[in-house]
């Protein structure tokens, strides 16, 4: 399941604007990698290139390579829909399909992929992924109720269950806890800790404590000024990044002296 992601000299554009420059990073499988850095430095932009979601924005394009276990995700013969099945994504705002039941939300990705499944197979997938997302006990008696009737933290866990149901190799999470209270945040962090035995996980977060709690490795991105591209400044073991970073820029940012 879990696969390695490598980017090589990644340059990411919105029209003529180069938002991110020269990112080469090697993301380990079965581990959690945190992306940190100030607003606008390109964390979400980099994340979206890892499952080819960037190119759905008109005028947006990518130069360089993204390799999944050595295979170039941008090779001409590669189907981006298949890429998004292998590399799942969870967004900042939990976005369950509001009119769909909890059960159908978990199955939504599988239905989109047109895979035919029996009722009992569907039941198993629903239970297994809701258990995996630590949500089963809270919703097992109301699987046919709408997903929008859950709390924010429950909706975020439902989105994680929906993302894992298609059995991706990689899970990308863009600030998955920023709209959540501390208890729900801890529930998601516990879940990330459990999921990392099966997945490669990349999480964008503005919360330094969260990055140091959940991640094995941390990548710090920064921008030199408005209109300049974001760059990867330093990438290392999380413990080292937060105790003894090599670059002064990293130290200034993590100790709150940025800006």
Three-state DSSP class for 108?
helix
The residues in 30-69 that bind Mg ion, with binding defined as CB under 5 A, are 44
* CA atoms of 214 and 216, how far apart (whole Å): 7
- Return the residue of 31, 33, 44, 210 that touches ligand ATP, per CB under 6 A: 44
* CA atoms of 182 and 153, how far apart (whole Å): 10
Question: Is 250 near ligand ATP (CB under 6 A)?
Answer: no
Task: Return the structure tokens found at 215.
Answer: 């991640």
Q: Which is closer to Mg ion, CB of 128 or CB of 178?
A: 178
Q: Which is closer to ligand ATP, CB of 126 or CB of 232?
A: 232
CB of 27 to ligand ATP, least distance (A): 17
CB of 57 to Mg ion, least distance (A): 14
DSSP H stretches of helix in the chain: 43-49, 80-86, 102-112, 119-132, 136-139, 152-165, 182-195, 208-214, 238-243, 248-254
Question: Is 231 near ligand ATP (CB under 6 A)?
Answer: no
Tokens 């197979």 map to which residue? 121
* CA atoms of 55 and 177, how far apart (whole Å): 25
- Return the residue of 39, 99, 114, 137 that touches ligand ATP, per CB under 6 A: 39
Question: Is 42 near ligand ATP (CB under 6 A)?
Answer: yes
Query: What strand order describes the sheet that includes 71-72?
Result: 71-72, 60-68, 5-14, 17-27, 230-237, 217-223, 32-36, 200-204, 170-174, 87-90
DSSP assignment letter at 151: -
CB of 62 to ligand ATP, least distance (A): 13
Tokens 């130069």 map to which residue? 63
x/- mask, Mg ion, residues 175-214, rule CB under 5 A, reads ----------------------------------------
Question: Is 96 near ligand ATP (CB under 6 A)?
Answer: no
The residues in 2-21 that bind ligand ATP, with binding defined as CB under 6 A, are 14, 19
Residues of the shown chain interacting with ligand ATP in the complex, contacts defined by CB under 6 A: 14, 19, 37, 39-45, 57, 230
Q: Which residues bind Mg ion (CB under 5 A)?
A: 44
């Amino acid at each position: 399941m879990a696969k390695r992601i490598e980017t090589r000299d990644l340059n990411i554009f919105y029209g003529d604007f180069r938002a991110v420059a020269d990112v080469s990073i090697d993301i380990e499988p079965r581990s959690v990698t945190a992306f940190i850095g100030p607003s606008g430095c390109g964390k979400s932009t980099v994340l979206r290139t890892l499952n080819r979601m960037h190119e759905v924005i008109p005028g947006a394009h990518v130069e360089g390579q993204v390799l999944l276990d050595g295979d170039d995700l941008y090779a001409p013969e590669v189907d981006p829909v298949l890429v998004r099945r292998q590399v799942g994504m969870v967004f900042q705002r939990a976005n369950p399909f509001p009119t769909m039941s909890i059960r159908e939300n978990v199955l939504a990705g599988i239905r989109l992929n047109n895979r035919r499944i029996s009722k009992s197979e569907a039941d198993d997938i629903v239970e297994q992924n809701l258990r995996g997302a630590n949500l089963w006990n809270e919703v097992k008696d109301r699987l046919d109720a709408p997903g929008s009737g859950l709390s924010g933290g429950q909706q975020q866990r439902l989105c994680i269950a929906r993302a894992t149901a298609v059995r991706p190799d990689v899970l990308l999470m863009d600030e998955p806890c920023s709209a959540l209270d501390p208890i729900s945040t801890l529930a998601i962090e516990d879940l990330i800790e459990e999921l990392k035995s099966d997945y490669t996980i990349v999480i964008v977060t503005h919360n330094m404590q969260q990055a140091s709690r959940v991640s094995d490795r941390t990548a710090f991105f920064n921008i030199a000024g408005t209109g300049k591209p974001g760059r990867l400044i330093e990438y290392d073991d999380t413990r080292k990044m937060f105790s003894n970073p090599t670059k002064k820029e990293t130290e200034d940012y993590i100790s709150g002296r940025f800006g």
